[in-house]
Amino acid sequence: VTAPAELAERLRERFPDLVAARGEVTVTVPREELLDSLRWLRRERSLSFDSLSDVSCTDWPGREPRVWMAYHLYSMRHGNRLRVKVGLPGSDLRVDSVTPDFPAADWQEREVFDFFGVHFDGHPDLQRIIMPEGWEGYPLRKDHPLGGVPTQYKGAFVPPPDQRGL
Amino acid sequence: VEEEARRGILTTTLGAIVNWARKQSTWPVTFGLACCAIEMMAAGAAHHDLARWGMEIFRASPRQADLMIVAGRVSQKMAPVLRQIYDQMPEPKWVISMGVCASSGGMFNNYGLVQGVDTIVPVDIYVPGCPPRPEMLMYGILRLHEKIQKRGTFK
């Protein structure tokens, strides 16, 4: 295992936008360079980040970029961990899919698509994974209401219990 | 008129007998979805013993069941499954909404869960509780028996 500071030094040359804090190393890349960056991180034998352990997403309404993708990498050879972040503008939520390179991303990207509505270009089967097909809305966006939402059933909307006039 | 009256008496009597027979063995379909299912199983097991009302057999096939005890929270994705199983049950059929989650969504007031199973199937008896104890479920079942006896129709 490489010390985080050492790993940060090793990466800073290629990724100037780098943060090493609390024992974690995070690099931010433009979304056009995401695929190249991940491929490079895997290819470099001194790094060999060959395992994509998680793909996650956060929503920050009112900020730009609004949505941040986070790719969590792990090196089987060295035991290091690394986070790669990509910011997406709220008006254009799309990013290249990493599934063709990292098959582990398949369902993770479908989950992000399901909950945040981010489109992954090149994903082989981009459809909802947890919510029912045909469900409307992206429930983990911050502007989605926390409670009191109508029940959707086969295209019909049933209002929440306190609005049914029972 | 006398003949009509006699026929009328005969019909009510037969209806009462049929309803009595129906209420004495309402076979439930297995539909345990969450922690309520544990209490439902406890109600079916030896200590509380649903066999006293002829309903110890939880049928795994909806074709052989006439009571659906929705025990637990129903997710949006489970809703079509639940409805299909309900549709596959032969008439006459009844539904008990067991627990507060099945009745109104309960504490899960969010996008993931159906806010009350009565939005997708007609419910006869609501049993509150989180989860209800077996005694409460049995009380609901007895109330359902009353309902079947009084308001059941025989065609």
Q: Which of B87, B111, B117 to mutate to test the interface with A (most CBs of A within 10 A)?
A: B111
Q: How far is the alpha carbon of B40 from chain A, nearest alpha carbon, in Å?
A: 25
Q: Is B69 on the interface with A (CB under 8 A)?
A: no
Q: Give the 3-state secondary structure of residue B80.
A: helix
**Nearest by CB: B115 against A131, A139, A151:** A151
Q: Is A40 on the interface with B (CB under 8 A)?
A: no
Residue where the block lists tokens 């995070």: A26
Query: Rounded distance, CA A47 to CA A38, Å?
Result: 11
* CB pairs < 8 Å spanning A and B: 46
- Model pTM? 0.78
Query: Rounded distance, CA A36 to CA B9, Å?
Result: 85
CA distances from B48 to A136, B42, B43, B44, B134 (A): 44, 7, 5, 7, 7
Q: Which of B119, B120, B121, B123 to mutate to test the interface with A (most CBs of A within 10 A)?
A: B119
Query: Rounded distance, CA B20 to CA B12, Å?
Result: 12
Q: Which residues contact B8 (CB under 8 A, 6 or more apart)?
A: none
Q: How far is the alpha carbon of B24 from chain A, nearest alpha carbon, in Å?
A: 32
Q: What is the pLDDT along chain B (155 residues), one digit of tens a residue?
A: 677 666 665 555 677 888 888 888 889 998 888 899 999 999 988 899 888 888 888 888 899 998 999 998 898 888 889 999 999 999 888 999 999 989 888 888 888 888 888 888 999 999 998 889 999 999 999 999 999 888 767 65
| pLDDT tens, residue by residue, A74-113 | 999 888 999 999 999 988 899 999 999 999 999 999 999 9
Q: Are B31 and B68 in contact (CB under 8 A)?
A: yes
